[in-house]
């Protein structure tokens, strides 16, 4: 997938990003960007560049996350936090419809999205790939489409990947190649900016900029190459669906289950997991019933509970379902893996389970049997 708009790269001073944020707000966008929140760098409402985590970096390891301060005031000197676009475009809590009791009969009210369009700042290549995947999953979903269609994206090339990233294995980063309105590559004093749409061009009308020099473009390439080389974690994607179908009864699934907590953290932070459930609630006077769609997880004990029993009663079966769906079923259904290599599931797993290592163990143990 490529964007169909091109103009020569520009450079802007870092403080000019504040003018772009202000312009987007004036155009009616709800601006969402990275900010320090609850000991992490998450996505939230921002109104100025002072809201960005300037000078902050993060350390991510298997089952661990912490913040630190850079020596330089980088605007985007960190990797992805626990949030992704999913939380806004497929929110954890979504009202679908309500049925109201009237004097004669009932009235059905379908909820529609009435909020401002989103403008997202600081989006990485892996999350743009995840957005592309969600677009396929929710192609016919009116609630997702209503929030998705008018979004504005300021992407950033990922110069500070985490120790849990493996996006090169999934061909999803660290370089942004499509899906943006504006794209930033951060230098010490300024940004290299690439414009990916007419909306992006309109957003920088009043922003002082100049045409990028050849040295700036070479500098960008050097930063991306350095970032890519610094990513040591890998996932072997060769023959994944065939491998996982063949190893359906591999004993290693039981070993994983002995460590797995079934907490569902991995599915909550995953930018593509989309399992949900529906809950019906009624008002205290009994006159209104509302259906709500909520996030769920295939790790939940009762997720596979149907009339007649639970067809995935064990943690072994539930973890196997999650990995096989992500790396096999998804490919058969959508033609692309459900994993983008962001590494969130590794960072935020309290049991320290690493999908890349577990897949390698399954591959190796399968060869020995």
User: Over the stretch 114-125, which tens digit does the pLDDT of each residue have?
Assistant: 889 999 999 999
What's this model's pTM, rounded to 2 decimal places? 0.92
Binned at pLDDT 50, 70 and 90, residue 93 comes out as very high
Cα torsion for 224, 227, 229, 235, to the nearest 10°? -110
Q: Cα(135)–Cα(131) distance, rounded to whole angstroms?
A: 6
pLDDT, tens digit (0-9, with 9 covering 90-100), for 302-343 = 998 888 888 899 999 999 999 999 999 999 999 999 999 999
pLDDT digits (tens, 9 = 90+) for 36-45: 998 999 999 9
């Amino acid at each position: 997938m490529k964007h169909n708009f091109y103009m020569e790269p520009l450079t802007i001073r870092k403080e000019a990003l504040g003018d772009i944020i202000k312009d987007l707000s004036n155009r009616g966008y709800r601006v969402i960007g990275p900010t320090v929140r609850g000991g992490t760098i998450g996505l939230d409402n921002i109104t100025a560049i002072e809201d960005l985590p300037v000078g902050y970096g993060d350390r991510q390891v298997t089952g661990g996350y912490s913040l630190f301060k850079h020596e330089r005031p980088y605007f985007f000197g960190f990797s992805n936090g626990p949030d992704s676009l999913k939380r806004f475009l497929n929110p954890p809590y979504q009202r679908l419809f309500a049925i109201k009791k009237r004097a004669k009969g009932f009235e059905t009210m379908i909820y529609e999205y009435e909020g401002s369009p989103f403008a997202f700042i600081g989006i990485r290549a892996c999350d743009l790939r995840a957005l592309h995947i969600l677009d396929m999953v929710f192609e016919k979903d009116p609630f997702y489409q209503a929030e998705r269609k008018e979004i504005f994206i300021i992407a950033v090339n990922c110069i500070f990947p985490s120790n849990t990233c493996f996006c090169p294995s999934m061909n999803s980063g660290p370089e942004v190649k499509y899906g943006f309105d504006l794209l930033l590559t951060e230098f010490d004093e300024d940004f290299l900016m690439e414009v990916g749409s007419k909306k992006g061009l309109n957003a920088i009308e009043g922003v002082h900029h100049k045409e990028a020099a050849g040295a700036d473009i070479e500098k960008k390439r050097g930063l991306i190459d350095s970032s890519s080389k610094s990513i040591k974690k890998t996932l072997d994607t060769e023959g994944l669906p065939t491998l996982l179908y063949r190893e359906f009864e591999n004993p290693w699934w039981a070993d994983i289950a002995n460590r797995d907590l079934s907490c569902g953290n991995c599915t909550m932070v995953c930018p593509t997991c989309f399992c949900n459930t529906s809950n019906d609630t009624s008002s205290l006077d009994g006159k209104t019933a509302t259906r709500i769609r909520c996030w769920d997880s295939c790790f939940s004990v009762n997720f596979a509970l149907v009339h007649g029993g639970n067809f995935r009663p064990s943690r072994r079966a539930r973890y196997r379902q999650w990995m096989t769906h992500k790396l096999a079923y998804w490919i058969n259904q959508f033609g692309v893996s459900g994993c983008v290599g962001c590494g969130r599931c590794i960072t935020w797993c309290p049991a320290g389970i690493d999908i890349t290592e577990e897949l390698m163990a399954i591959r190796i143990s399968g060869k020995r049997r």
